[in-house]
Structure 1
Amino acid sequence: MTNELISPLSGLRRLIETDQVGPNENSFLDDKAPVWSPHNKIINVTPGPAFGSELVDQFSSTQTRGMRGPDVAKFFTSVREDYGKMVGMQEGGRALFFTGSGTTATESAAGSCRFPGEADFDTPAVVTMEIGAFSTAMGNCVENLGRNVLRLQTDLGEDLPYDKCREVLEKDTEHKIQLVMAPLNETGTGVTTDPRKVRKILDDLKHPALLVIDGISAIGSMPANMTEMGIDMLVGCSQKGMMGTPGIGMLSLSAKAVEKVYEADKALADAGIKKGQHYLHLTKMIDDGCHGSTP
């Protein structure tokens, strides 16, 4: 077993861009290579973090501001509005930023729209479609939150199981399913899906479940428009297609999703049930976000 420092391919790209190594050279495998490892045998092709621009580096090096101050609140509000426009968020929606990875935003979405008694339902409250390691992690997140979840899984490299999804939703005549979750782009395999097909299934069946899409490796890299694709919740992060620094999870909600989040939380409160979340509690994020802040 060796402890080998593995250089991401993005590091090689940066060296090519700065003329430290030519794109057609093999010098990066030499002992004196600028892309270095003790054995110079491995280049690990990773999905991120991606290198940001020099402008991102400059902003990251500025003095930290008091995050509860009025200037930061104004800045947060402006950035959220711009981000909402970028992902095609409809009027009445909300764009939320979490200080955490994309997984933070995923967990907040996965824990939302929980109604009293869902653990005892014969029908799942959440359906996840898993086609690779990252969408499987999404399913793990839902399961670890104690949700009543049905996990529809396919072989690696395959598209979403649209037909299975339709079968499950057709049987849910009482509309117990609250969330249908799927990736727009499966980071592990690179398979790009079509959320519009899932939206059509929901619309055809007149099913009120929210369509929650993991756009972590898609946003900024390919079209990810909430309105055009019929997405109710879109999960993102800062360090992949957005090419920012790691550490920001994004979650944008449609007006329908905002309404349902509040409806579910009121039902829990009326039943005397605590949601089991604090910082990732969506209603708190929405309420504080209206003032340019976080919980």
Structure 2
Amino acid sequence: MRQAGLHFLQIPGPSAVPGRILRAISAQTIDHRGPDFATVGKRALDGLKTIFRTDEHVIIYPASGTGAWEAALVNTLSPGDRVLMFETGHFATLWKKIAEKLQLKAEFIEGDWRGGADPDQIEARLAADKGHEIKAVCVVHNETSTGSVSPIAAVRKAMDAANHPALFMVDTISGLASLDYRHDEWGVDVTVSGSQKGLMLPPGISFNAVSKKALAAHKTAKLQRSYWDWADMLGPNATGYFPYTPSTNLLYGLNEAIDMLHEEGLENVFARHARHGTAARAAVRHWGLEVLCTQQGQESGVLTAVLMPEGHSADQFRASTLKHFNISLGNGLSKVADRVFRIGHLGDFNDLMLVATLAGVEMGLKKAGVPHSPGGVGAAMEVLHDLELKDMAAE
């Protein structure tokens, strides 16, 4: 039976695609080797630099974020190299598995999935690596499975304090264009991201932002690569072209997304996401439920992961809420499967959409018989009101 009204896609990515971007994508495909394409490609490549906040190269792949993970590793490392990673959640774990499949020695600093990477632990491990066997440190910026954010600038300071030469690689697939991110200023060597989160595009393109140090490492790296090779990309990219068929229509959408982000202003985009994260957590806590991320200051503005009460299935709750209220919520992954649901509040998203989303969750809790205290939506509205007054006073 058809359900009237909009479907609320409130998973933490892919995010809903705005009409402006859909219309841009719907333009007629053009010859990707013809003279008109150079303008499209160059605009995308240059525009991305303003989002990553870098003056260095950003490489675009027709691939998911998983491809960009692999590209970061194979372009800079050699078989048997040791990489240090931090267990922030499901996606950090997947990146580690890719490293192991590529014959790298991936070492995990264990985490409890309730916060971001700990710079002190990273510094201590690097300081103990007197022979500099660790060739790269890999950290997930916004861990989509848990709703926690790693302090990337602090990790860079920890690496510098240990006086360690390892490359610094960061996955900000779900953080870019939603949370403050500064590739150059934070001393990141390879940043990995994708199209389907804060950039508001469908899945299908992913990115590596690359430092000069990473390009130098590329010259001696011995892991096999072909499709992912930066060297093949950089020559054609200089004039706006690609060595193989790019995702032409997604690049149309990417250029529109970059325009939209700058029209709003990146600082305003970051503030909006932070405000929505604060309000969502207020609702969860009013309901008497527990936010998965327990590290104050590391909670995400992109999503809120919520622990279900003991004895209640998160997946059954999500299925019931989808059936009755036409809202999709994110599922718990691996270690927190069926224990957590995730509320996405990212992309082209405003206060009214957040309130409607939280209303859907609260109605879903009641319908599914999940113990909670009603009034979480009101608590979120109070937070939004208070933050608006605070912003007005600061102007």
TM-score, length basis structure 2:
0.57
The Cα RMSD (Å) is: 2.2
Structure-2 change in CA distance of 1:176 and 1:113 (3 Å): farther
Are the structure 2 counterparts of residues 217 and 175 from structure 1 closer, same or farther at C-alpha, using a change threshold of 3 Å?
same
Normalising by the residue count of structure 1, what TM-score does the alignment of the two structures yield?
0.76
Aligned 8 A contact 2:64 2:203 in 1: yes
1:114 aligns with 2:77: yes
2:224 corresponds to 1:283 = no
Looking at structure 2, the residues matched to 75 and 201 of structure 1 have their Cα atoms a distance apart, in angstroms, of 40
Report Cα offsets for 1:46-81 as digits up to 9, x if no partner: 211111221111121111122222322332122111
Q: 1:157 aligned to 2:114?
A: yes
Greater alpha carbon shift after TM alignment, 281-290 vs 243-252: 281-290
Using a 3 Å threshold, how does the CA distance of structure 1 residues 35 and 106 change in structure 2: closer, same or farther?
farther
Which residue among 96, 102, 116 is the counterpart of 1:145?
102
How many angstroms apart in 2 are the aligned matches of 1:287 and 1:154?
41
| Partners of 1:192 and 1:58 in 2: CA distance | 33
Any idea what SS the aligned residue of 2:149 has? coil
Shift of 1:36: 9.9
Provide the residue aligned with 1:179 in structure 2: 136
Q: 1:56 to 1:127 in 2, by over 3 A?
A: same
Measure how far apart 1:207 and its partner are.
Answer: 1.5
Q: Which amino acid aligns with 1:160?
A: A
Contact 2:62–2:206 (8 Å) recurs in 1: yes
Tell me the SS of whatever aligns to 1:234. strand
Q: CA deviation at 1:138?
A: 1.2
Q: Give the AA of the match of 2:40.
A: F
What's 1:260 paired with? 217
Q: Which shows bigger deviation, 63-72 or 214-223?
A: 63-72
Change over 3 Å in CA distance of 1:58–1:127 after alignment to 2: same
Give, in angstroms, the shift of residue 221 of structure 1: 0.7
1:192 aligns with one of 136, 149, 169: 149
2:77 aligned with 1:77? no
How far 1:45 moved relative to its partner?
4.5
**Amino acid in structure 1 at the alignment position of 2:29:** T
Kept in 2: contact 1:95–1:250 (CA 8 A): yes
Using the alignment, how far apart are the partners of 1:94 and 1:183 within structure 2?
21
Instruction: Determine if contact 2:115/2:149 at 8 Å carries over to the other structure.
Output: no
Quick one: distance in 1 between partners of 2:238 and 2:2?
Answer: 53
Between the aligned partners of 1:286 and 1:46, the Cα distance in structure 2 is 35
Structure 1 residue identity aligned to 2:231: T
Quick one: which amino acid aligns to residue 279 of structure 1?
Answer: Y
Which amino acid letter does the alignment assign opposite residue 129 of structure 2?
A: D
| Runs of 4+, deviation exceeding 4 Å | none
Is contact 1:111-1:142 (8 Å) kept?
A: no
Q: Which amino acid aligns with 2:13?
A: G
Number of the residue aligned with 1:96: 59
Q: Tell me, in whole angstroms, the C-alpha distance in 1 between the residues paired with 2:143 and 2:171.
A: 8
Alpha-carbon distance between aligned partners in 2 of 1:176 and 1:32, rounded to the nearest angstrom: 59
Matched to 2:136, the amino acid is L
1:46 to 11, 17, 26: 11
Q: Deviations over 1:59-110 (max 9, x none)?
A: 21111122222322332122111111221113xx211100011111111002
Relative to its length, the structure with more helix (as a share) is 2
Aligned residue number for residue 197 of structure 2: 240
SS in 1 for 2:108: strand
Distance 1:79 1:44 in 2: 27
SS in 2 for 1:83: helix
Matched, 1:127 2:84: yes
For the Cα contact (< 8 Å) 1:73–1:291, is it kept in 2?
A: yes
Query: What are the equivalent positions in structure 2 for 1:18-29 lying under 5 Å apart?
Result: none
Tell me the CA shift for residue 259 of structure 1: 2.2
User: What's 2:384 paired with?
Assistant: none
2:126 maps to: 169
Distance 2:57 2:207 in 1: 11
Structure-1 separation of matches of 2:12 and 2:26 = 24
Aligned partner letter, 1:108:
A
Give the aligned length: 243
Q: Give, in whole Å, the separation in 2 of the partners of 1:215 and 1:173.
A: 29
Cα offset, 1:174, TM superposition: 2.6
- C-alpha distance in 2 between matches for 1:126 and 1:294: 30
1:27-47 C-alpha deviation (Å, 9 max, x unpaired): xxxx7633799xxxxx88421
Give the secondary structure class of the aligned counterpart of 1:149.
strand
5+ residue gaps, structure 1, are 1-30, 38-42, 269-274
Deviation, structure 1 residue 217 = 0.6
Q: Note if contact 1:105-1:251 (Cα within 8 Å) is conserved in structure 2.
A: yes
* Equivalent AA in structure 1 for residue 201 of structure 2: G
Q: Which runs of 5+ in 2 are unaligned?
A: 244-395
After superposition, the Cα gap between the structure-2 partners of 1:67 and 1:153, relative to the gap in structure 1 and judged at 3 Å, is farther
In the other structure, the counterpart of 1:208 is 165
Secondary structure, in 3 states, of the residue corresponding to 2:107?
strand
